[in-house]
Each structure stands twice: as C-alpha cells, then as structure tokens.
Structure 1
C-alpha cells in the first residue's frame, strides 16, 4: 500500500528514538495536532499523518461520517478498516525509514483519529505501546473479530473527553474504561468541562502521562 502523507519533527536522539504518531480528526489535516509537538519532549520523534480521503472544500478524513445516523450506522466501517490497515502499514514503514525504536511507539489521536488509534492498537497490539485517545470512542465494528483473545498486557491508554462535547457524546466515551478493563488493558480516563476540543489542562495531563512512559 502507498505511504500516507506526513510531516515530521526529528528527535534529539540520533537513533532508537521513541516514536509518536499523530492522527487528526475529521475534516482537519496533519498540521492540526502537529502544533502540540513544540511542547512535547524533545527525545520524541514526531510524525503527523494526513488522512487519505479528501474533503470539500478542504480538509481530510479517515472515513466518511453520516452525522444524522444512529451510532451503529454513523461510520463508513469499510473505509475505516482500510484506514486502520493503512496506519498499521505506515508504522512498519516508519520503523524502517526513521531512526526510531519499534518497541516504543505511541499513537495520539483526536476524534476520528482516536477511533482509528483504538482500532489499530486492538487489532495490531504488537505494533504499538501507548495510546493517547482524545475525544473519541471505541468502534468495535472496525476491530478484528478475535480481539478478545489477544494479549494486551503491554498496552497503556490515556483517554479523555469533553463533558459537553457536541460532536461525539460523552456517553459514548464513558463506555471505554469498562471495555478496556474487560481486556485487562492499563488505562486512565478523564473528562474536562469543554466541548469537542482539548483543554489546556487536558494537554498538560496527557503530556505528563506520556513523559513517564517514554
């Protein structure tokens, strides 16, 4: 499969750097989450991906969304699965092409990027270590069928959501901790009094969480 378009911030380390891959939300692009990178630890090698589907008049998406539909019919799951596998493939490419540690890879997603981060981690747990899941939820329909049999003991999740999110209801995100607990996955979950976005205190919390794990 072709590589995804991306931008990078190089690490202060010349080899074996911890890798952070950013996955933006619906209608955004690779520059959105990349703005966080200047505040993140300098030893991180940062890659911010652009989703494969072009939107009009601007922006990109990992898959189509029908905002009028019920939760179960909300997403184009076929497109989402294709994007899940594109991201998994890109991780393999990044390990080959950049001076990073394949055993220390973090996915940072926002909204649709979070939904894909969950799907990648739970379908391909051997490819990642940490997940920062902002303003998203778990879509079980885009995780491979045998996920309950997998070993997730090395994974660690930081999950957060806005308590007044007007795009993805906070109730969807509140189902995540019990789901991860059932899979014996280490995780923490936090809510902040904001809408569909990342509050400053949310950023500093996940930044400190990540610092302790790289």
Structure 2
C-alpha cells in the first residue's frame, strides 16, 4: 500500500467556510515537485472551483528534490501496480477531505498518470480529468468497462518535443483513451515536457465548459 497523503501540507484556494457546494479541482504535481508547483496556476483557473494542491507521498532518491507519486528508477519504473497504489492513496484522501460537490482532477506528468488511474478506479466519482504531459497506464482494470460506458471528459495536452514520457506509453494512451473517455486536447509544436501559455488557454476553455455542464450557467 502506498503512503497516505498528508492533509497538513495541502494548499487550498479557499477557506473551509467558503467551500460548501462548490466543485473541487485537485492539482497533482509531477516528479520532483511539490504542492506549490501547480498551485501557481490558480490565478489562471476559474475561480468558481475550490482548488486543492496535494503533495505526493514519496521522496525520490537523493539528490532529486521534491516528491513523487511512484518510483521510476530501475526495472520497476512506471509499474502500473505502483500507479494503482498511488491512485488509491489519493482516493483515500478524497474520501476524507472532499465535500459533497463534483470533483475534477488536473495533473502534470506523474500527477496526470495518477489522475487517469484514479478515474479508472472510480469512474463515477469524477466529473473530468485534465491530463498534462501524462499517460494512461497499460494493463486492464476491472472498472474499465464502467469507464467506457460513462465516457467522462478528459483533456490531454502534450508537447511535440516531450522526450520524458516514453513513446510506447504515449502510443498506448493514443490508442486506449478514445475508447474509454470523451477525449479532447492538443499536441503543441515545439513544446517539451512543460506547460505553455497556449496550453493554459486551452485548459481554461475546457474547464469553463465543464463548469457550464456542472452548474448549467
């Protein structure tokens, strides 16, 4: 079992008193970062969301900084079982901390892979996922058929020059995602393993669309 997330280090965009009844957007950082990394995006995201940036539970091997959701070193790198365990730790945190409103996930790299794995584990629990420079884990889960039936919206943005995510994982995601989710997104020319202004604009358009669907406004 992966270590549980620490609620004491979660960054929230709104105090507890202002969260009731609002949709929750959870930010999941990438390898070697922490909860402060994606929290810097808050000014670019719709303020109708309550936004929570969580910290991954593992510390990468020295001298790597920050935290990670699963190990990527050696022969065990990117083992789907590790992704599932990390996604389950996220689900336990959500069970304890999320309110009654709808929940969306936005992850970068490792965090995006965890967001997609959490969606697969509980297809009915999430309104949408934003996958930035991530991938769908290989292998089958017993809940994949339910996901394919629900087909929740997923935005996938990635750089054409991203050399961090192995090509076989990208190709698997290209083949797998359209059969299980309502996929939209874009490949950004010249972009490496990072997030661009154009991508942030597209994410904002996607999130505004999801808010309209959730609130009817």
Residue in structure 2 matched with residue 135 of structure 1 by the alignment: 133
Give me the whole-angstrom Cα distance separating, in 1, the residues matched to 2:117 and 2:133: 15
Between stretches 164-173 and 124-133, larger displacement belongs to: 164-173
Q: Is the contact between residue 29 and residue 35 of structure 2 (CA under 8 Å) also seen in structure 1?
A: yes
Give me the whole-angstrom Cα distance separating, in 1, the residues matched to 2:183 and 2:19: 31
Candidates 24, 28, 31, aligned match of 2:33:
28
**TM-score, normalised with respect to structure 2:** 0.83
What is the count of residue pairs matched by the alignment? 202
- Looking at secondary structure, tell me which structure has more helix per residue: 2
CA offsets 1:45-102 (integer angstroms, 9 cap, x no match): 0000100001334200001102x66xxx531444332211010111112224xxx51x
Q: Is the contact between residue 114 and residue 137 of structure 1 (CA under 8 Å) also seen in structure 2?
A: yes
Give me the whole-angstrom Cα distance separating, in 2, the residues matched to 1:125 and 1:134: 19
- Looking at secondary structure, tell me which structure has more strand per residue: 1
Q: From the superposition, tell whether residues 167 and 17 of structure 1 become closer, same or farther in structure 2 (CA, over 3 Å).
A: same
Give me the whole-angstrom Cα distance separating, in 2, the residues matched to 1:146 and 1:26: 27
Residue in structure 1 matched with residue 206 of structure 2 by the alignment: 209
Please provide the CA RMSD for this pair: 2.3
Give me the whole-angstrom Cα distance separating, in 2, the residues matched to 1:28 and 1:3: 15
Residue in structure 2 matched with residue 195 of structure 1 by the alignment: 192
SS at match of 2:124: helix
> What are structure 2's unaligned runs of at least 5 residues?
212-217
CA offsets 1:99-148 (integer angstroms, 9 cap, x no match): x51xx21100000001111100011112211100000111124x6x3133
> What are structure 1's unaligned runs of at least 5 residues?
none
